[in-house]
Every structure is written in C-alpha cells, then in structure tokens.
Amino acid sequence: MAAIPPPSPLTIGGREFVWGSRTFLVGIVNVTPDSFSGDGVGLDVDAAVALALRLEAEGADVIDVGGESTRPDAEPVSAEEELRRVLPVIERLVQEANVPVSVDTSKAGVAEAALEAGAAMVNDVRGLRGDPQMPGVVARFGVPAVVMHNQRGRPYCELMADIRAGLETSIALAEAAGVPRERLILDPGFGFGWSVGHNLEILRRLPELRSLGRPLLVGTSRKSTIGAVLGLPVEERLFGTAASVAIAIANGADIVRVHDVKEMREVCRFADAVVRGWSPPEEAK
C-alpha cells in the first residue's frame, strides 16, 4: 500500500505548521477549579498566564486555554462563567506569549469572544456538533479548528467506524458553513466515552484515520486509561503518558496535547527521530 503523504501546511496565528516535519505540542492551561488532572488554576489569571508562559518556554507550539472541565462527571458551566474564566487569560496571553493561543470550548459565544480577543484557533471537544452556531463562528473568523469525535451519549457500532463517521460529520458541518477541510485538525477522542480497552485500541488503530487527509491530534495526557493500566493516581502518570505519546506518534499523530510539555518534548524528539528520520548535526568546521 502506498504511503499517504502528509497534509499540506496550516497557518495558525501567523505560524506555519508543516505536518510531517515533526510532532507539535499543545500545552494545556485549565482555568477551572475542577480539572481531572488537578492542574486547574481557577480564577487566578496571573497563575494561568505564568503556567502558559512556562509551557511556551518548555517547547509548547500552541497554548490551549479551557474554562470548563470535560471529565465525565463535571458540572456544566454557563457561557458567562466560562468567559469569566478564560477571557482575561486569553487577553493577556495574546499580548505576552509568542505562540498561538487556542480556546478549548464547545460554546459558540465563548469561541466568538475568545477569537475577538485574539485567540487563533478553536478546540471543540464536541466536534462542531454541540452548538449549531459554532461552525459559523469558525468560518467567520477564518481560523483553524480542532474537531473531536466525542462518543459520550452516542450508540456504539464499531470503534473506528464510529470515530470515522463522527469526524466525517464534523468535516461536513464545517464545509457547509464555509470552513474548508484544510483548516481542520482531527481528534479521535481518546477518553471521551470509551472503555479502557477501546482507548488502547484507538492508539493501535490510529493509522486508519490517516486516509481522512487531515492532521491528527491525540490527547492522552494523565488520563484515566493510563491510571487503570498502571494502577496509578493522576499525579503519577507521567511515564504512562510518555509511553502513550510515543505510541501515538509512531502510529501517525501530528500533534499531542499534554500537561507536561518539557518531558513530552523529549519524548516527541526521540519518537520523531525514529518515525520521521534523524541525521546527526554536521560537525563544526
């Protein structure tokens, strides 16, 4: 079978992302009091900005700011509360960070305000399917979007068939609103409505999604599947995360979304050396 070429480069916030050249890192900033990973900074804007700038210094290519926990038992928050959490942080980061800022939201109103404040991308864990206004907002601002297949509350047929169908639905919604598929990044939804076995299978079968022709983002960082396999609490899942990131890269991930950027940057560099090829630097003459 012929190798599938990487998708064409994508510009995010003025920066060009050349898929296939290396694995890119999205650093997580949870502006929440109830993040599953225990890293939420609540309404402390200074702490959120400091965290984001540290992640940038450690090698993050994008900073993803979210104001609503997506763990299964989390209490939903209103758009007003979500904006109260994320907007001051995004406004600061647009001025202080040197990498693009993404807003992690499924609400069109939150996305619109964040984009007006200077955010350069929308990361929607409902894949443009949760708010009918979201595709139009993404189209109007002309920004890229990460669209996830979220299996929560959906009937199960077959793992990869369900993921593929969900992602194709998101692509169709985007295109119908005027968002070209070339501006989309696809997320298979590791941890969103799947069993531990399903999540492990997603990583094994990730290459099946390459034929969709878009870059793949994978988010395994500190998630409960790692805890279930290793029998470890969330604060002790660094090495399990590292293993999952390396496997994701080996199977075709273009971007990984992580909490521990410094450590995962090293994982990415070594995995990339194997997967994408590496040559030693020329000796100084």
Question: Which one-letter DSSP state was computed for residue 38?
Answer: S
Active site residue 204: no
Give the H or E element holding residue 92: helix 79-96
Distance CA 63, CA 86 (A): 12
Backbone angles phi, psi at 113, to 5 degrees: -65, -40
What is the bridge-based pairing of β-strands 15-17 and 24-30?
unpaired
What are 86's two structure tokens?
């994320």
Q: Which of 183, 223, 237, 265 is catalytic?
A: 223
Distance CA 201, CA 161 (A): 13
Q: Which of 85, 183, 257, 265 is catalytic?
A: 257
What are 209's two structure tokens?
């999604």
Distance CA 74, CA 37 (A): 13
Active site residue 223: yes
The dihedral through the CA atoms of 272, 278, 283, 285 has a sign that is negative
Q: Which residue has the tokens 């531990």?
A: 196
> Which residues are known to be catalytic?
223, 257
